[in-house]
Structures are given as C-alpha cells and as structure tokens.
Amino acid sequence: MSLRDRIENQPPFHTLPLWRRIVLICGFGFFILVGAMILDKKFDLYGADPDHPVAETGHIYPVQVAFGYLRFATKEERDSLFFWQRELGDWIGIPPLAAVFLWMLYRPKQPWPPRQ
C-alpha cells in the first residue's frame, strides 16, 4: 500500500488503539490552546496598548502584534506573550506531525478497508 493510499484511506478514529487516540486528542487540545492563547495575547495588546512608549504607565517594551503592528507593552505583558509565542509556540507543529504518524500511517492488524 502506497503512502498516498494510506493517507486517502486512513482507518476510522475508533479503530485506533487507545493510547494513540489519547495522544491525538491531547495533541489537538495543545494545538488549539496554544494557538488561541497566542491570538488572545496579540489581540489584547493590539487593542489595549499604545502605539508609542508611555513611561508613566510602564508601556515601554516594543512588541509586534496582530497584522505586524508595533505596540508598547509592560514587562509583564511582554513576558506573557513571549512565553506563549516563543516557548510554547515552537512546539505547535508537533501535533499535526504526530497525527501523520499516529493516525494516517497506522496499519491495523487487519487490512483496512476490509477486503471482501
């Protein structure tokens, strides 16, 4: 069976072993959580923070936010965005890659689809 056939005729989700289903669901949850948090942080900074430095309020740290705009955030806001974007954002590509290996390339003990 070629790679193209495996991708086009992948086994149903419920036929995967339990550990594969758990890893796929947790990976998908991680993917959604990190992506949503990065977007939330960027849109919060885009809408609430000034576009010029304001030393009185502590908004002196430049941050690139949604659509490439530059906003000036406080140290806590910048550190929070960098945590989600730099630390966890680097791992966001692993769940789709895991889906390829754990689901699309899975070969059940019986051939799928069952032969008549």
Over residues 53-81, the pLDDT tens digits come to 999 999 999 999 888 899 999 999 999 99
Retrieve residue 77's tokens: 């806001």
With a threshold of 0.85, does the pTM exceed it?
Answer: no
Retrieve residue 81's tokens: 């965005």
> What pLDDT score does 110 carry?
65
Q: How far apart are CA 12 and CA 23, in angstroms?
A: 16
Question: Mean pLDDT, to the nearest integer, of 8-12?
Answer: 80
The string of DSSP letters for 32-48 reads HHHHHHHHHHHHHHHHH
Over residues 76-106, the pLDDT tens digits come to 999 999 999 888 888 888 888 888 788 877 7
In terms of residues, how long is the chain? 116
Residue-range domain boundaries for the chain? 3-7+15-104
The CA radius of gyration of the chain, in Å to the nearest whole number, is 21
Over residues 13-39, the pLDDT tens digits come to 888 889 988 988 999 999 999 999 999
Say if residues 108 and 91 touch (Cβ distance below 8 Å).
no
